[in-house]
C-alpha cells in the first residue's frame, strides 16, 4: 500500500484534555502510530510510542506511578515523560542503551491535547485556534464528545464543508428541503484557511434552534460559516435570526469539528459546541438546551453522517483505481478548495523532507 498522504509537521488533536485522567494511561492511534498518553507527577501530559522497548508490550497496559513514571505492565521497566527508561527493577538494575521510547511533544490547549508527530521542530504557535472554549460558561458548552468513524478524514471533511447535505440527511433537526434551493454558498480562502459560508433566507427554523431561540418563530434567516484549517480542523458558526435582521441579533453556536486520522480508513472525530448570544437566563433551561443540542449533534453523526460516509468509503474503496471522477456540483466548491490546499501542503512537506 502506498503511504497515506498525511501532513506530519502539524499539531493533531489527540483527545479532550479531560479524557486523560491522572495515573491512567490512554492509548490512541494517530497516523498509524500507536501512542500512549499519560500525565506526569505535575499533571503535564506526555506521549510516546505505545510499545515497550524490552519485549514490545503495549505501554498503555502499564501503570502510571505516583512519581509520574510510566511502568510497563509486563516486567516493570519505568519510563519518564521523555521516554527514557529510568528504572530496571531486575538484578543489577542496568539499563541498556536501547531501552528508550520515542516521545512526542504534547500541549494542552483550548481543552484539547495536541500532539506533534513530525520531525520538524514543534511550534506551539501553530496550534489551531479553538479559543471559543476560553471563558465559555460550562452551561453553554455542549458535550465534548468523540467518535471513531470508518472513513478517511478527507471524506468527512467533504461532508462538513458541504452542509447542503443537512437538507436531506438531517431534515427537521439541522436542515430542511426548503433550504436547498434558496441557499447561497460562498467559498473564500485566506492563506491556507478555507471558509465556506451559507445563508438561507426565509426558511423554517431547524429543530436544533427552536428551543434556544427563546420565543416562538416559524420562519428565520439561517446562516453558517465553516472555517477549515489543515489538515482537519474546523470551526462552524451557525445561527438563526429574524428574516432580514442582522446576524448579530440572532443566536446560535460555534460547532467544533476536529478530524484526526487514525489510519487510512478510520478517523477520530472530536466535536463540541459553544453557544453564542444566549437568550435565556434560567440555568435549568440552559442545561436542558445544552443537553438537547449535545444529543442532536451526537445523533446526527452517529446515526446519519457516520453510516452514509462509511458506505461511501466502502463504495470508493471497491472502485479502487477504476473510480470515475465525481460529477461535481456547485455545492462541492469548498471540498474542492480544501483538497487543493491540502495536496499542495503535503507535496511541499514531502519535497522538503
Ligand atoms: S515488555 Fe516491558 S518491561 Fe518487559
Ligand atoms: Fe451532517
For residues 292 and 285, give the distance between their C-alpha atoms in angstroms, rounded to a whole number: 10
Residues lining ligand 1, CB < 6 A?
52, 54-55, 57, 72, 74-77
Domains contained in the chain, CATH given: 11-126 (2.102.10.10), 133-352 (3.90.380.10)
For ligand 2, the distance from its centroid to the CA atom of residue 165, given in whole angstroms, is 6
Decide: helix, strand or coil at residue 353: coil
For ligand 1, the distance from its centroid to the CA atom of residue 51, given in whole angstroms, is 9
Q: Which atom of ligand 1 is nearest to the CA of 52?
A: 2
Decide: helix, strand or coil at residue 33: strand
Q: Which atom of ligand 1 is nearest to the CA of 75?
A: 3
DSSP alpha helices (H): ranges in the chain?
Answer: 153-161, 166-169, 177-182, 207-213, 283-299, 306-319, 333-352
| Atom 4 in ligand 1: residue holding the nearest Cα | 75
Which DSSP string do the residues of 216-278 spell out, in sequence order?
A: --SEEEEEEEEEEETTTEEEEEEEEESTTS-GGGSEEEEEEEEEEEEETTEEEEEEEEEEES-
For 279-317, write each residue's pLDDT tens digit.
999 999 999 999 999 999 999 999 999 999 999 999 999
For residues 72 and 217, give the distance between their C-alpha atoms in angstroms, rounded to a whole number: 59
- Please report the pLDDT score of residue 172 as a whole number: 87
- Please report the pLDDT score of residue 1 as a whole number: 44
For ligand 2, the distance from its centroid to the CA atom of residue 199, given in whole angstroms, is 17
| Atom 3 in ligand 1: residue holding the nearest Cα | 75
- Among 36, 52, 53, which is best to mutate for testing ligand 1, by the most ligand atoms less than 8 A from CB? 52
Residue with cell 494511561: 25
For residues 147 and 166, give the distance between their C-alpha atoms in angstroms, rounded to a whole number: 19
CB 151 within 8 Å of CB 35: no
Residue 72: which region, alpha, beta or left (left: phi > 0; alpha: psi -120 to 50)? beta
For ligand 1, the distance from its centroid to the CA atom of residue 41, given in whole angstroms, is 22
Q: Which atom of ligand 1 is nearest to the CA of 77?
A: 3
Residue-level pLDDT, tens digit, the chain, 353 residues: 454 679 999 999 999 999 999 999 999 999 999 999 999 999 999 999 999 999 999 999 999 999 999 999 999 999 999 999 999 999 999 999 999 999 999 999 999 999 999 999 999 999 999 999 999 999 999 999 999 999 999 999 999 999 999 989 998 889 888 888 888 999 999 999 999 999 999 999 999 999 999 999 999 999 999 999 999 999 999 999 999 999 999 999 999 999 999 999 999 999 999 999 999 999 999 999 999 999 999 999 999 999 999 999 999 999 998 889 999 999 999 999 999 999 999 999 988 77
For residues 187 and 199, give the distance between their C-alpha atoms in angstroms, rounded to a whole number: 12
Helix orientation angle between 333-352 and 153-161, rounded to the nearest 10 degrees: 140
- Please report the pLDDT score of residue 4 as a whole number: 62
CB 318 within 8 Å of CB 166: no
What are the CA-CA distances from residue 298 to residues 81, 151, 157, 160, 291 (Å)? Answer: 34, 17, 17, 14, 11
Amino acid at each position: 500500500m502506498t503511504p497515506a498522504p498525511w501532513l506530519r509537521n502539524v499539531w493533531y488533536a489527540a483527545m479532550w484534555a479531560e479524557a486523560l485522567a491522572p495515573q491512567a494511561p490512554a492509548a490512541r492511534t494517530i497516523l498509524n502510530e500507536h501512542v500512549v498518553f499519560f500525565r506526569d507527577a505535575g499533571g503535564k501530559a506526555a506521549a510516546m510510542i505505545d510499545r515497550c522497548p524490552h519485549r514490545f508490550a503495549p505501554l498503555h497496559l502499564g501503570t502510571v506511578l505516583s512519581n509520574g513514571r510510566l511502568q510497563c505492565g509486563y516486567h516493570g521497566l519505568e519510563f519518564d515523560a521523555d521516554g527514557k527508561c529510568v528504572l530496571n527493577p531486575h538484578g543489577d538494575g542496568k539499563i541498556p542503551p536501547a531501552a528508550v521510547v520515542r516521545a512526542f511533544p504534547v500541549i494542552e490547549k483550548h481543552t484539547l491535547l495536541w500532539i506533534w508527530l513530525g520531525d520538524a521542530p514543534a511550534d506551539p504557535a501553530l496550534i489551531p485556534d479553538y479559543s471559543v472554549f476560553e471563558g465559555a460558561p460550562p452551561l453553554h458548552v455542549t458535550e465534548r464528545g468523540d467518535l471513531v468513524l470508518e472513513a478517511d478524514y478527507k471524506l468527512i471533511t467533504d461532508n462538513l464543508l458541504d452542509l447542503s447535505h443537512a437538507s436531506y440527511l438531517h431534515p427537521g433537526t439541522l436542515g430542511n428541503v426548503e433550504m436547498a434551493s434558496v441557499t447561497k454558498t460562498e467559498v473564500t480562502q485566506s492563506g491556507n484557511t478555507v471558509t465556506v459560508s451559507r445563508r438561507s433566507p426565509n426558511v423554517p427554523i431547524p429543530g436544533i434552534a427552536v428551543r434556544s431561540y427563546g420565543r416562538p418563530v416559524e420562519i428565520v434567516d439561517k446562516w453558517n460559516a465553516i472555517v477549515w484549517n489543515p489538515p482537519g480542523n474546523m470551526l462552524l458558526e451557525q445561527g438563526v435570526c429574524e428574516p432580514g435582521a442582522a446576524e448579530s441579533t440572532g443566536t446560535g453556536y460555534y460547532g467544533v469539528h476536529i478530524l484526526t486520522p487514525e489510519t487510512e480508513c478510520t478517523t477520530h472525530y472530536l466535536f463540541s459546541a459553544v453557544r453564542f448570544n444566549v437568550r435565556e437566563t434560567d440555568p435549568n433551561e440552559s442545561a436542558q438546551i445544552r443537553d438537547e443540542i449535545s444529543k442532536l449533534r451526537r445523533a446526527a453523526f452517529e446515526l446519519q453522517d457516520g453510516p452514509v460516509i462509511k458506505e461511501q468509503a466502502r463504495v470508493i474503496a471497491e472502485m479502487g483505481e477504476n473510480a470515475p471522477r465525481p460529477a461535481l456540483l456547485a455545492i462541492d466548491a469548498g471540498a474542492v478548495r480544501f483538497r487543493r490546499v491540502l495536496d499542495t501542503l503535503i507535496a511541499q512537506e514531502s519535497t522538503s523532507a
